[in-house]
Structures are given as C-alpha cells and as structure tokens.
Amino acid sequence: MWFRSATLLWRRTALPAGRPFPRCYSTPTPTSPELYDVVCVGGGPAGLSLLAALRSSAATSGLKVALVEGQDLKKNVLRDSTPSTFSNRCSSLTPASVRYLKEIGAWSFIDESRVQPYQGMEVWDGLSGSKITFDWDETNSVARRPSRHDSQTIAYMIENINLTTGLQNFLKALGGITILSPAKVESISYGDSTGSSNLSTWPVVKVSGGQTLAARLLVGADGANSPVRTFAGIQSRGWRYERMGMVATIQLESEPVRKIAYQRFLSTGPIAMLPLPGKMASLVWSTTPERAEVLKALSEEDFSAMVNAGFRLSDPDLQYLHGLEAGQAKEVEWRRRHTPQSGAVPTTVIGVQENTIAAFPLQLRHADTYTAERIALVGDAAHTIHPLAGQGLNLGQGDIASLVRTIKSAVESGQDIGSTLALEQYTSERYAANNTVMGVCDKLHKLYSFQSAPIVGLRSLGLSAVDKLGFLKGFLMRNAAGGA
C-alpha cells in the first residue's frame, strides 16, 4: 500500500512537462514538508549540471526540483573577468564533457574567452627521461585515419567558477527551480505515514531556516564528506596518499605558439602545467606535506624558480633545493646553466598570481554503491580520485549524464524515479567505468613512486614502447577524451 500511496502522491505533485513556472523559494510549514520529485544537496558543478540537464529535457522538465547549497551561490560567481587574472581552481574538461554541456544548452552561458583548448600533451619520467607525446595530428597520421575532434583538441582548461557561473545563469534562464542558498542541511530523516499520504520511505531534508523538503529522489552532490551518503548508510572506502596537491596560477615568460600541457613524474609525485589563455597557466604539483610547506613559505621569485626546476632539474637537485629556507632563485639559475636540456619543456615561469598558491590533501575514496532506495550519489560524494589524469570533474559530468538518462527512462516508462529498480541503470553504467579509471590513476601514482632501478627501467621501457605505437596511443587518447 505504501508504494501505491507514494506513487499517487507523486502524480499529484509532479508538474506536467513543458509547464512554465517561475524560480521560487520554498516556504513550507515546520510540520509539513514540501514535496519534490528531486532534491539535490550540493551546488557545485555536479549539482548545478544535474538540475540544468533535468530542466532542459522535455521528458523531465515537469519534475518539481530543488537545490540545497550551504554557501551563498550569489557570491560564488565570476566577478573579475580580467584576461590576465584566473582562479587557481581549474579543471580539464574532456571533449565528451563539453559536448554534453552543449547538448543540454549550458555551454553557451560559459565565458569562452576564459576557456583554453589545448592540442597536445608531453608526459615524461623525471628519473629516466623516457617520454610519451599525445598529439592528435601525429596519432591520426600514424593510424592513417581522419580526426573527428574539434580543432584536434585534447581537452579544455576552464576555471571551476566560470563553469558554475555559467550553469547558474543557465538555470536562471530556464526557471522553475527552488533554490535554497545559503542553507545548511541540519538533518535528513524519513518522513511520516499519515492517513492521506505515506512518506515513510521518502527522505526529508531539514535545512537551516526551518524549511523541510521531502524528496522522491534525493541526490547527494555534496562532496567527499557527503551527509546524504552518511544518511543512506553507504560506506566509502579508500586511502590517503600522504601527498598534497599544490595549485597556483602562474605567469609565463611568453605566450606559447601552440597550447600544450606538460606533466613530469617526480619521485614525490607528478608536476603538471596546464595552459590558460594568454601568458597564464595552471599549476598542479603533487608532493609530500613537508615539501608543500616549504613551497608555500617561499617568495614569489623563489616559488617560480622551483616550478621551473620541477620541469628541468634532477631529483637530487630538487631534494637539495627543498632543503633551503630561501634563495632558490639564484641556485636554480646556476644549476639550469649547468644542466643540459633534452626534449620539450614548458615556457619559463616568471611570476605567480597573488593569493593563488594553495594545497589540499590527496586521497582515493569510492562509495560501495551509488544508489539506495530514493538516494543517488554523484561526483565527489560517490568518488574522489588522484588529479594526475585530470579526470575528477569529468567523472562527475559522466555521472550526471547517466543519472539524467536513468530518470528520463523511468519517467517515460511510468516507473517511480526513486525506486531501487529504476536506479539500477545508473549504478550499472557508472560504477564499473569509474572504478576502472580510478584504478588506473591509482596504479600510475604507485608505479611512479618507486625509485628502484629495475622498476624505473621497466616502466621507462613501457612508456617508450607506447609512445611508438600510434594505434595504442590513439586508443588511450580516445578513452581519456570520453570516447570522443
């Protein structure tokens, strides 16, 4: 009986597809939760993309949806559009992720002048010097096949705040979404069963301010420490890498003629430089907590010198430089003059944008499942990954595309969108795929943490072999691009 009551209740509360209604704010009484088809907790890229995709689809646009976000979304927008100033929180979007944002109509709200496509990537071993070059022109030439990629693009560098600002503007244009922001989740519990309705299986979210929302489907897009995941009783397993991810926005000596990403595997972790518009670039450096503290304490001149050293000098040189309290700039300059350079290296760094140097702990976490009755997890609430392959945000976008397909299928077939049966499609599509990507990144991190000569020799041999096999590189690039 409870299922029939819940189903009838949804049919009374779900709005017909295509009906326009204004953006609004929920004001239920403290004892009576307002009923929603979908409530999403978390207003980051994943949560905003979910609501945008649901509202832009004819099949799901009639669902009554709400967003709960602890921070003030009105303050979390792009304000400084100066072409030489960029946020230190950037992501590398694959062509597949960009294509999906275009399909749902959100990409046209992104400030594309601040997005940087790049066409190549140089990756090499800091101990042996063996390398692999990812380049669509070269790969397609070797494989003798035409390219299907826009302008030979490997990925697009975008500030996270540019993405979320665009998504917020898109949602404003769409309308019809209840947005509670800033509103912190105070509790999540199951509803009550009354004579007229049965909410005993519906999650009820109580937020600061006293509002309560009952969800036919509650989506957790609320980060690695997800309250939604905790409520659902879903375990998240993994480990810390005992590494910190250093990020910064850096200024280059000159603008590269061709935009290329660079990544060098050091004994403490990879250092990567990813292109931004003009003479700017985004730095991501995985290193030990002790070295991260040293780097954060340096002057702008010494920090810039250390970044240049990270791409050019030997492991013993870097170990010595991290032991200095100051004066790295002069030491690096002397060592660079006496160190022969072979292979491609990035343009010299000459400065760091003010207040962009930051560090965060790296970890791998994976939820045991992505769904429970009336619960779905997406993005970091479901999985966190090492940033060495730049796939974190892309996995989240893949989650959104799959979950929206799942909800759409349930609506079109008359299923309860929150039922375990209806949500099985999402778990089956995403769990194994995400687990594979996470496993590959984890194994790469561990492989390049070894310094013993036999292992260094074997991994260098493998890297050089893959570099010579154009068809294999093409396969890896197509999969990294999201199957584009």
Write down the pTM of the prediction: 0.87
**Tokens coding 219:** 């989506």
- pLDDT at 31 (0 to 100): 62
Read out DSSP for 43-75?
Answer: -SHHHHHHHHHHHHSTTTTTS-EEEE-SS-TTT
CB 90 within 8 A of CB 157: yes
- pLDDT at 443 (0 to 100): 87
- pLDDT at 136 (0 to 100): 65
- pLDDT at 3 (0 to 100): 36
Three-class secondary structure of residue 179 per DSSP: strand
CA dist 265 to 284, 311, 387, 435, 472, Å?
12, 9, 13, 23, 21
Task: Centre a 10 Å sphere on the Cβ of residue 144 and count the other Cβ atoms it contains.
Answer: 8
Q: What residue spans define the domains of the chain? A: 2-78+161-235+368-442, 90-157+241-300+344-361+444-480
DSSP for residue 86 = -
CATH 3.50.50.60 fits 2-78+161-235+368-442, yes or no: yes
- 285 φ/ψ angles, rounded to the nearest 5 degrees: -130, 115
Strand 177-180 to 65-68 pairing: parallel
- pLDDT at 8 (0 to 100): 36
10-residue mean pLDDT profile of the chain (484 residues): values are 37 37 40 92 97 97 97 92 91 95 98 94 89 71 47 88 97 96 96 81 94 97 97 96 96 94 94 97 97 97 98 96 96 93 88 96 96 98 90 94 98 97 97 93 84 79 71 62 54
CATH 3.30.9.10 fits 90-157+241-300+344-361+444-480, yes or no: yes
Cis peptide before 289 (omega within 30 of 0): no
CB 351 within 8 A of CB 307: no
Q: How many CA atoms lie within 13 A of 343 on its CB side?
A: 19
The H or E element that residue 251 is part of is strand 236-252
Read off the amino acid at residue 94: T
